[in-house]
Amino acid sequence: MLVNMTAREQDDSSRARLREIIAEKSFREGEFTLSSGKKSDVFFNMKPTMLDPEGLNLIADLVLEKLEGYDAEYIGGLLVGAAPVLLSVVQKSYLTPRPLKGFWVRNERKTHGMQQMIDGDPEEGDRLIIVDDVTTTGESVLKAVAAMQSRDCNVVCVLTIVDRCEGAAERLKESGYDLISIFNRYDFTSRKPHEVP
C-alpha cells in the first residue's frame, strides 16, 4: 500500500534517516584533537556519511531544501570538506528550476598548469553559497569566503551539515553571513562543548 506523505513529512523523514546514518558512521564521543589543535569530547568525521550512497543522496536533498528561497548561481567551498556535497547538490539541482554550478577552493595554489587556487568559473558579481561538512569556529569557511571575495563574488550564506556550536555562527554573523545548518551537535549529544564526561 502506498502512503502519501506531505513534503514536510518527507523532509522530516529524510532528516531523521540522515541523522541515523551520521550517528552510526560519523559521530564519536571520547577524547579528540581537532584540526585547530583544540581538544573535544565529540568528533564528527563526515567522510563515511558523504561517501555512503544513501547518506550523500539525503545530504543533497536536504541541502537543496534548505537553500530554497536563496538567490544564488553557485555552490562551493574548500576542496576536501565541501567537494562530495557540492558535487551531489550540483548534479541534483540540474532537475530543479534553478540549477547551481559548482566551484571549490584549494588549500594551496596549484604549482603546475595554470596554478589555480579556485576551480570553477564564478566571476565578479556572481552570487554564491559556501558549504562545509562540519563547522567549529568558522575559520575554514571564512577562508573560502575570502577567496571568493577576492574575485568580487557575493556570498549569500554559508551552509553546513553539522554545526558543532563552538562559535562558527557568531563569527560568521560578525562577518555579515548567516550560517544555515542541517544539524548541530545537540542532535547527537546533550553535552556542551568541552564538557568532560
Kindly report which listed range (5-19, 26-40, 169-183) carries the lowest average pLDDT score. Answer: 5-19
**pLDDT value at residue 9:** 59
Is the pLDDT at 159 greater than 90? The verdict is yes
What's 8-57 look like in SS3?
HHHHHHHHHHHHHHHHHHCEEEEEEECCCCCEEEEEECCHHHHCCHHHHH
Higher pLDDT, 170 or 113: 170
**pLDDT value at residue 195:** 52
Q: Work out the burial of residue 87: count CB atoms within 10 Å of its CB; fewer than 13 is exposed, 13-18 middle, 19 or more buried.
A: middle
Is the pLDDT at 102 greater than 60? The verdict is yes
**pLDDT value at residue 192:** 77
Chain segment 62-76, per-residue pLDDT in tens = 999 999 989 999 999
| CB within 8 Å of 8: residues ≥ 6 apart | none
Is the pLDDT at 86 greater than 90? The verdict is yes
**pLDDT value at residue 119:** 86
Report the topology of domain 8-187.
Answer: Rossmann fold (3.40.50)
Kindly report which listed range (54-58, 105-109, 140-144) carries the lowest average pLDDT score. Answer: 105-109
Q: Which residue, chain included where needed, has cell 568541552?
A: 194
Is the pLDDT at 111 greater than 60? The verdict is no
**pLDDT value at residue 107:** 67
